[in-house]
């Protein structure tokens, strides 16, 4: 397929993805520097000031700086939506609109985390929404580049017209299983974080769960994800589905790197730099999970036409 919307739409779709991955890393920096309550209230920084003042120190500047990045994300998302709207492509417009609307929603969730003194469960939800946003950005980018023609309704209609009630192929089902397991891993990762150090502020409470036990539960889910990803890679290779094979290989590579960082940070008592790198890996995991599913469904749709 030919790219949709021209070069500018592709650039803005890439910018959306990079910006949403970047905000995950900078949000992690806020937590890892103990700046989660650098601005103790929301939407203003303090009760009587929109911006941080000298008494709040470097933590106030870090937390407020991360808030300001929301405006950068908003500008990119709005520009992408405007260009997408001009393209006349319905799916591209809907995806770009979803990303643009997700940013103020995330800002509200971030505000709630501050107002609840960094409740670990809300912080967990905040991160998972960012992971979902990254998935939307990958979907948008794939469609814009002409690398994905699949949409939820189009695939179902194509299969029903050609094959009646024929079930999805093995690779597509396995890709969805990998996707679901990957999201379980991401969720358990946030639970581990919520039970351990690096809460974002010395006064913030933790979940009360045993961080060592939760780390082992998280690791068990990672083992399952790696095994399923290897299976997906083998199935794609055997079926000659090169796009899916590449996506599965990329996902597996990220998982192995994430596992190495995860085990290293566990045995080194969670140094901040490795935790930040692990957050980046989580964002890349979400992106690769979405890419794998898109590749599996796109090729299935091609065969049904």
| SS3 labels along the chain | CCCCCHHHHHHHHHHHHHHHHHHHHHHHHHHHCCCCCCCCCCCCCECCECCCCHHHHHHHHHHHHHHHHHHHHHHHHHHHHHHHHHHCCHHHHHHHHHHHHHHHHHHHHHHHHHHCCCCHHHHHHHHHHHHHHHHHHHHHHHHHCCCCCCCHHHHHHHHHHHHCCCCCCHHHHHHHHHHHHHHHHHHHHHHHHHHCCCCCCCCCCCCCCCHHHHHHHHHHHHHHHHHHHHHHHHHHHHHCCHHHHHHHHHHHHHHHHHHHHHHHHHHCCCCHHHHHHHHHHHHHHHHHHHHHHHHHHHHHHHHHC
Of 115, 148, 181, the residue that ends a domain is 148
Predicted confidence (pLDDT) at residue 188 exceeds the cutoff of 60 = yes
pLDDT, residue 54, reads 80
5 and 83 fall within a common domain: yes
Residue 3: pLDDT band by 50, 70, 90 thresholds?
low
Q: Is the pLDDT of residue 302 over 70?
A: no
Total domains, the chain: 2
Residue of higher predicted confidence among 198 and 275: 275
pLDDT in tens, 13-52: 999 999 999 999 999 899 888 888 899 899 899 988 888 8
- pTM of the prediction? 0.88
Whether residue 206 sits in one domain with residue 134: no
pLDDT single digits (tens) 49-101: 888 888 788 989 999 999 999 999 999 999 999 999 998 899 999 999 999 99
Higher pLDDT, 199 or 132: 132
What was the pLDDT predicted at 300?
45
Q: In the predicted model, is pLDDT for residue 303 greater than 80?
A: no
* Boundary of a domain, candidates 86, 119, 148: 148
Distance CA 206, CA 121 (A): 9
C-alpha span between 38 and 59 (Å, rounded): 5
Confidence grade of residue 301 (pLDDT, cut at 50, 70, 90): very low
The residue behind tokens 């692990």 is: 278
- 261/274 Cα distance (integer angstroms): 7
User: What residues make up the domain containing 212?
Assistant: 153-305
Q: At which of 105, 128, 148 does a domain end?
A: 148
Alpha-carbon distances of 274 from 28, 126, 209, 260, 267, rounded to whole Å: 11, 21, 22, 10, 11
159 and 303 inside one domain: yes
| Interval 168-176 mean pLDDT | 87
Structure-block tokens of residue 134: 């990254």
Exposure string of 268-294, with b = 16+ CB inside 10 Å and e = fewer, is: eebebeebbbbbbbbbbbbbbbbbbbb
Same domain, 105 and 210: no
Residues 195 and 108 grouped into a single domain:
no
Instruction: Report the Cα–Cα distance between both ends of the chain, in Å, rounded.
Output: 15
In this structure, the answer to whether residues 143 and 274 fall within a common structural domain is no
- Predicted confidence at residue 298, as pLDDT, reads 61
Task: Report, as an integer, the average pLDDT of 174-179.
Answer: 97
Same domain? 10 vs 89: yes
> Which one is predicted more confidently, 175 or 148?
175
The C-alpha atoms of residue 82 and residue 9 are separated, in whole angstroms, by 9
Q: What is the pLDDT of residue 34?
A: 87
115 and 229 assigned to the same domain: no
pLDDT band of 148, cuts 50, 70, 90 = low
Question: Are 114 and 164 part of one and the same domain?
Answer: no
Identify whether residues 132 and 175 lie together within a single domain.
no
Compute CA distances 3 → 8, 38, 134, 151, whole Å: 11, 44, 20, 16
> So what's the pLDDT on residue 246?
95
Domain shared by 139 and 11, yes or no? yes
Same domain? For 77 and 165 the reply is no
What are the tens digits of pLDDT across the range 211-258? 889 999 999 999 999 999 999 999 999 999 999 999 999 999 999 999
Q: Which of 181, 174, 182 is nearest to 237 (CA)?
A: 174
């Amino acid at each position: 397929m030919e790219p949709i919307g021209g070069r500018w739409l592709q650039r803005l779709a890439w910018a959306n993805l990079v910006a949403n991955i970047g905000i995950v890393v900078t949000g992690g920096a806020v937590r890892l520097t103990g700046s989660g309550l650098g601005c103790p209230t929301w939407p203003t920084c303090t009760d009587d000031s929109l911006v941080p003042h000298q008494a709040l120190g470097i933590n106030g500047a870090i937390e407020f700086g991360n808030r300001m990045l929301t405006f950068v994300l908003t500008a990119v998302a709005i520009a992408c939506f405007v260009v997408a709207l001009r393209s006349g492509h319905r799916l591209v417009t809907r995806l770009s609109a979803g990303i643009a609307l997700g940013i103020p929603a995330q800002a509200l969730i971030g505000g709630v985390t501050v107002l609840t003194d960094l409740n670990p469960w809300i912080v967990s939800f905040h991160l998972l929404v960012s992971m979902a946003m990254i998935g939307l950005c990958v979907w948008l980018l794939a469609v814009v580049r002409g690398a994905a023609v699949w949409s939820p309704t189009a695939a179902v209609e194509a299969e029903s017209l050609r094959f009646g009630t024929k079930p999805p192929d093995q690779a597509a089902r396995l890709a969805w299983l990998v996707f679901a397991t990957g999201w379980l891993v991401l969720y358990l990762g946030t639970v581990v974080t919520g039970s351990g150090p690096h809460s974002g502020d010395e006064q913030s409470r933790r979940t009360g769960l045993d961080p060592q036990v939760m780390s082992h539960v998280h690791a068990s889910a990672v083992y399952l994800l790696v095994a399923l990803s290897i299976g997906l890679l083998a199935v794609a290779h055997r079926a000659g589905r090169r796009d899916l094979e590449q996506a599965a290989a990329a996902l597996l590579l990220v998982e192995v790197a994430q596992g190495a960082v995860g085990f290293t940070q566990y045995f080194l008592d969670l140094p901040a730099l490795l935790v930040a790198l692990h957050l980046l890996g989580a964002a890349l995991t979400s992106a690769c999970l979405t890419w794998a599913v898109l590749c599996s469904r796109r090729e299935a749709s091609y065969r049904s036409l």
